Every structure is written in structure tokens, then in C-alpha cells.
Amino acid sequence: MTKTMIVGNWKMNGTQPVARSLAEGLVNNDIIRSAHADGVQVVCCPPFTALSLVQQTIADTPIQLGGQACHHQRQGAHTGDVSAAMLRDVGCSHVLVGHSERRRDHHESDDQVVAISIAAIDAGLVPIICVGETLEEHQQGLTRNVLQRQVGILCSALGNNLSRCVLAYEPVWAIGTGLAATAEHVETTHAYIAEVTRTHGIVIPVLYGGSANASNAEELLSSEHVNGLLVGGASLDAISFAGIVAAARRKGGASS
């Protein structure tokens, strides 16, 4: 059964006590803990400093762990960075790659996104690669051009390895604004992404991210081309996150 994925990106939130209590909230929530029964895969991505303790808390549950970023080199003189192997070592199965906040704050380029994805795959992680247009590009009607470029580069550079990744369409204008993209925009854009990858012979799950919450999750997930959600703000509260997971469970593992 193809899975619907719900990924919580905690971003730069959560000292150890906060992270522990959030992780306990996830583990103790029946909807989240048994989500796999309906083909829903749940991944949480805490900040680096909380990975270890969250791993200990979610151990023995189907909830999986992801890093929020990693370096493309295996090791060496890269102060402040962590490698894909380090994430694997601490129990991660996934890593976010090329999030727009990384592209903005750390100037991660399309080429670096490719290199990081390769490093992640080599280390045994599933990269969740983020793409999406800025507000300015959206207003200029350039959404498809941006996605053609971002997804096209991934297809050409990664080839069949891209099928070992997950894509996340995160329109930058919808992130943290409370203004999620409309279901219609999501449907047409995800269909376009599927068209781009298909021309390269690649089939890959595509998540949507940007102000997803318990109230709009069902509608956002209604498109056959939406294989799950990448959730920021609403993943910081176990009850809100459970509401999103519940919507995914209603969709079940039926996504393409």
C-alpha cells in the first residue's frame, strides 16, 4: 500500500524539556501512534539538539525521525554542520533538503540541494526535497517555470535515485502565513510536478507544505497527486498534529 506521509518540521523550536513533552504527546496519542494501521507514515523533524532525546521517546513506536538539514560532505572542516551519517547515527530515517528557509538563510543552491540529496541517499536516509516558488514569482505567474527548473534539475542530476526521495511542494508565500494554497492550486501544481517527473520516467511521492493545519488537511489531501503534508507550526502541538494525522488516516494509503 502506498503510504500517505505526515511530516512535522519543528524548525528552530524546542529546548529539551519542550521537545520531550511534544514527543511524549505524539507517542501517547492513539491517532498518531496507530496511524500506520491506515497506511499513514508519521515523521517528526526536531532540531539537531533534540534528535537524540526524541529518538529515545519514539523508540518502539512507528513514528520516524528526520533531520532538518545536513551537509553534502561526509565529514571534515565544516563548522556548525552535521553530516547525513551523523543523522543516521542518531536514528534518523529521513532528512529535509533544500527547505526554502535553508535556501534563504544559508544560500543553499539547486546544485547543493542535489549534492546533499546524494549524500543523504548514500547514508541510507530518505531525502524530503523541498521545492516551491516565492511570493514574487507567484505573483509574476512563474510558478511552473520555477518548478520546471527546480524539479528538472533534480530529475536530470539524480535520475532514478530521485525515486528514492520524496518531494515537498512548499510555496514560500504559504509558509507560516496562515494562508495555505487553495486546494485547486495544490491540485494543478502537484499534477504539473507529476508531469515533469513523468517525462523523466520518475514516479515520486509529493507532499504539500505551507500553513497546513487540522482544519484544512482533509481538503489539501483530497487531490490524488498529494501524497501527504509537510507541517510546520501545527506540528508543534500534539493535538493539532493529531488532527492532521486523522485527516490523513481518512485518506489512508490510497494516494498514488
Cβ atoms of 45 and 96 closer than 8 Å: yes
Write down how long the chain is. Answer: 256
Size of the site for ligand 13P (CB under 6 A): 14
Cβ atoms within 10 Å, residue 114:
21
Please indicate whether residue 218 is annotated as part of the active site.
no
Rounded least distance, CB 92 to ligand 13P, Å: 16
Cβ atoms within 10 Å, residue 231:
28
Residues numbered 79-118 forming contacts with ligand 13P, rule: CB under 6 A: 99
212 touches ligand 13P (CB under 6 A): yes
Q: Which stretch binds ligand 13P (CB under 6 A): 19-27, 58-66, 110-118, 230-238?
A: 230-238
Please tell me the distance from the alpha carbon of residue 123 to that of residue 97, in angstroms, as a whole number.
14
Q: Which stretch binds ligand 13P (CB under 6 A): 18-26, 106-114, 137-145, 231-239?
A: 231-239
Q: Where are the beta strands (DSSP E) in the chain?
A: 4-9, 40-45, 64-67, 94-97, 126-131, 166-169, 206-209, 228-231
Q: Which stretch binds ligand 13P (CB under 6 A): 71-79, 134-142, 150-158, 208-216?
A: 208-216
Handedness of CA 100, 104, 106, 109 (dihedral sign): positive
Please indicate whether residue 170 is annotated as part of the active site.
yes
233 touches ligand 13P (CB under 6 A): yes
Q: Which is nearer to ligand 13P, 110 or 195 (CB)?
A: 110
110-122 and 143-158 helices, crossing angle to 10°: 40
Q: Which is nearer to ligand 13P, 231 or 247 (CB)?
A: 231
39 touches ligand 13P (CB under 6 A): no
Binding site for ligand 13P (CB under 6 A): 9, 99, 170, 175-176, 209-212, 230-234
Active site amino acids: 99, 170
